[in-house]
Amino acid sequence: MIINSLKRIVPLFCLAATSFVVAQPATLIKNNNPKFVETSQTNRLEGFALMSYIVDKQGKVTDIDYLLTSNVKPFEDKAATQLQNFIYSPAIQNDEIVSSSRVFLMSENIGFVGYRNDSVSSGFYRRFANIYKNLHNTQFDLETKLTSLYEANTKNTAEQALYYFLEMNIAQTKNEQSRYEEALFRTYTLKRFLPQEFQFPVSQAYIQQYIYLGDYLGALRVLRETKKNPKLNIKQEVIEKAYADILAQLDSQPTTSRPYEFSRISTRLIGLAKREVVFEVTEGAVEKSQLRCDYRIESVEANKPIHINDKDGICQLLVKTNGSARITIKESGHTAPLFKI
């Protein structure tokens, strides 16, 4: 079963059933943003924005959607401006220029003359350590302490990452699934700002969350990113075992039906692991729904079938809602192109 699944993984340069498909992804060739200049200002506030966007046939960035943004400091407009200053060579599929999908994390890291700003303050660390050691102390007011930490000390991205790490653990302790999912998403997005000893457990938790949601493509993406992190030094056999386990779970389910809630998170990029896909809106309204693949961009509608081909590359479904909503994604058929590990 696992061997058969592995045979269905389609690389970007691959032999399809009918013809030789040559694909070249969009490549960044120029960054027109001005170089960063250090400052002596005392404001430590930093922001970030995780964005899904399209590189069009002219190599320009279009259709920017925010998957996650900083709560500490609004950063959307500045991040979009910086992203639009990127110039790409567009993607090519079968000698044809095509639009393609990308995801990028833009973060603002302020440099200061005379000292570093990439570590947490002593005040933050004391409060963080106190909360962390009392996570399971029922007599300890976790929520009040967490709010105080956020308001008094949380400023730069390193502190934001640790704050979300605490919130993730508190939500898990209280079995608050929606809150846990968002806090885990934020923690994983800022994982490179976390202490090294927290990075692997957070990656493990995110893989488990994706499997819980039934998003096997998402789980494989996190596994691939974990393997690429040289600081973690994960053994190859561990990666291969996890990879095979995820594929086996996917292979054991010829059809899947998975619900998604949109409340704390209003825009999602959902991995698609099978070739036949349809989604329905069971509550609320969807503002935007779009198939975003390595080599295909297409607006899609609820209750209408979507078919994924080998030449499309890896595909995800972008869904943006108006307020609270609920959708169900149904997948069936053979395995779609997946990440290689």
Q: What is the rounded CA–CA span in Å between residue 95 and residue 110?
A: 43
pTM of the predicted model as reported, rounded to 2 decimal places = 0.89
Cα dihedral sign, 198-199-204-210: positive
Radius of gyration of the chain measured on its C-alpha atoms: 21
Burial (CB count within 10 angstroms: exposed 0-12, middle 13-18, buried 19+), residue 139:
exposed
On the question of pLDDT at 8 being above 50, the answer is: no
On the question of pLDDT at 231 being above 50, the answer is: yes
Q: Which pLDDT score, from 0 to 100, does residue 109 have?
A: 75
Report the percentage of the chain scoring pLDDT > 90: 81
Q: Which pLDDT score, from 0 to 100, does residue 164 have?
A: 98
Q: What is the rounded CA–CA span in Å between residue 135 and residue 141?
A: 9
What residue has token string 């605490």? 166
Q: What is the mean pLDDT of residues 178-190?
A: 97
Q: 40 versus 288: which is more confidently predicted?
A: 288
On the question of pLDDT at 35 being above 80, the answer is: no
Among 4-8, 141-145, 151-155, the range scoring the smallest mean pLDDT is: 4-8
Q: What is the rounded CA–CA span in Å between residue 55 and residue 58?
A: 8
Query: Angle at the Cα of 119 (from 33 to 153), degrees rounded to 5?
Result: 100
> In this structure, what are the phi and psi dihedrals at residue 232, rounded to the nearest 5 degrees?
-80, -30
Q: Which pLDDT score, from 0 to 100, does residue 219 have?
A: 97
> Which amino acid, 108?
E
Q: Which pLDDT score, from 0 to 100, does residue 2 have?
A: 29
Q: What is the rounded CA–CA span in Å between residue 246 and residue 304?
A: 28
Say which residues have a Cβ less than 8 Å from residue 4's Cβ, sequence separation at least 6: 251
Contact 15, 23 (CB under 8 A): no
Helices (H), the chain: 2-7, 76-84, 122-133, 142-153, 157-173, 177-189, 196-213, 216-228, 236-251
Burial (CB count within 10 angstroms: exposed 0-12, middle 13-18, buried 19+), residue 204:
middle
Contact 110, 36 (CB under 8 A): no
DSSP structure string for 213-242 = HT-HHHHHHHHHHHHH-TTT---HHHHHHH
Q: Which pLDDT score, from 0 to 100, does residue 41 have?
A: 57
Q: Which pLDDT score, from 0 to 100, does residue 117 have?
A: 58
Express each pLDDT in 73-120 by its tens digit: 899 999 999 999 999 999 999 999 999 999 999 998 776 555 555 688
On the question of pLDDT at 38 being above 50, the answer is: yes
Express each pLDDT in 281-319 by its tens digit: 999 999 999 999 999 999 999 999 999 999 999 999 999
What separation in angstroms does the CA of 329 have from each of 298, 319, 339? 17, 11, 20
Average pLDDT, whole number, for the chain?
A: 89
Say which residues have a Cβ less than 8 Å from residue 182's Cβ, sequence separation at least 6: 264, 265
Cα dihedral sign, 8-11-12-16: negative
Q: 42 versus 123: which is more confidently predicted?
A: 123
What separation in angstroms does the CA of 1 have from each of 248, 334, 340? 7, 13, 17
The structure tokens listed for 235 are: 């053994």
Among 44-48, 248-252, 274-278, 319-323, the range scoring the smallest mean pLDDT is: 44-48
